[in-house]
Chain A
């Protein structure tokens, strides 16, 4: 039987790894729309981590800002500039 605390730490570690992979993909991706999606995946992992770290106030501001408003603003900017990153 796994202790609940170990389980929480394990999920935290998995979410941290997921966020690292998403960050790497967001930085290296040349299609900026895909990069925004990777960034949103990283934000989602962080939102779950904040929840597991017992910070519901941060979750409630992180979900609308980092998953909703911030990707939307970036997508607006990409629409007005260029979708693919140049050399």
Chain B
């Protein structure tokens, strides 16, 4: 890289930081960052997220972020999920028909025995942490996407340390992951309509994406089962989102691990232009 390019990059970063510092000093973000008291909007969510005395406005889950993400603005999250999975569907469609060569090359034996043994232990821990983040998402920081992304690290590590052939042998195939991902998405879709379906069956009405009872829609999911908080739909959304996200990421890694010649052969297509 030429010297003047380094100077331009360095100088632009210094100017960026200096401008930010100037804005901060002039009080554009307020003179106290973070402010000494929460904003009014934040106070609304903090007092309403778990409030049995005001069930009409409450999501009945103590985790305000998950309550906002999957209840107060649940429809936004649904479309965010849709964008993520459209990207994965596009990569699957691009790589359709791509498969691993039948015979593993001799280099596909993975790393040394020490690394493999440590990895076997770590994979179990990663999956346990992921499950904890996802399934407690309605109680503590975390949620479906966080848990799913953490769980996706496990097949990634296995891919690097063992090989893609090891993953295929142990049952982590592209089609199975596609099945899991579809099951997760189907679950998210069904959960969005769960209260509506139950309400229509009992002769009432309800909103799409409803969690707790609302005016003119008196049915909601139970927020407490045998003394344990469930957050109504929040728990179901987190479980299905974790399933879909971890399987989706795994599909992408499996596709990336296919040798390049095989992938190019399929992506290039035949002379008849398929």
Contacts and interface: CB of A to CB of B under 8 A. Distances in A.
Interface of A: 20, 23-24, 27-28, 30, 53-54, 56-57, 59-61, 63-65, 68-69, 72-73, 76-77, 80
A57 B13 contact: no
Interface extent on B, as a size class? 20 to 34
Interface string B226-261: 000000000000000000000001001100110010
Given A20-B17, A24-B13, A28-B6, A61 B1 contact: no
B269 interface: no
A73 B146 contact: no
26 contacts: A24-B10, A27-B9, A28-B1, A28-B6, A53-B34, A54-B34, A56-B141, A56-B142, A57-B142, A57-B143, A59-B141, A60-B146, A60-B150, A61-B145, A61-B146, A61-B149, A64-B146, A64-B149, A64-B153, A68-B156, A69-B152, A69-B153, A69-B156, A72-B160, A73-B256, A76-B256
A68 B146 contact: no
Contacts of A77: 256
Contacts of B34: 53-54
A60 B142 contact: yes
B161 interface: no
A86 to B, nearest CB: 11
A69 B256 contact: no
Nearest to A66: B149
Contacts, number: 56
A24 B149 CA distance: 28
A60 B143 CA distance: 9
A26 B17 CA distance: 17
Interface of B: 1, 5-6, 9-10, 13, 17, 34, 65-66, 133, 141-143, 145-146, 149-150, 152-153, 156, 160, 249, 252-253, 256-257, 260
A20 B160 CA distance: 30
A42 to B, nearest CB: 12
B9 A28 contact: yes
B137 to A, nearest CB: 9
Nearest to B156: A72
Contact of A69 (B133, B141, B149, B160): B149
Contacts of B249: 69
Nearest to A65: B149
B13 A20 contact: yes
Nearest to B257: A76
Nearest to A72: B156
Contacts of B153: 64, 68-69
A64 B152 contact: yes
Q: Please name the 6 residue pairs, one residue from A and one from B, whose CB atoms are nearest each other, closest first.
A: A56-B141, A60-B146, A64-B149, A64-B150, A76-B256, A68-B153
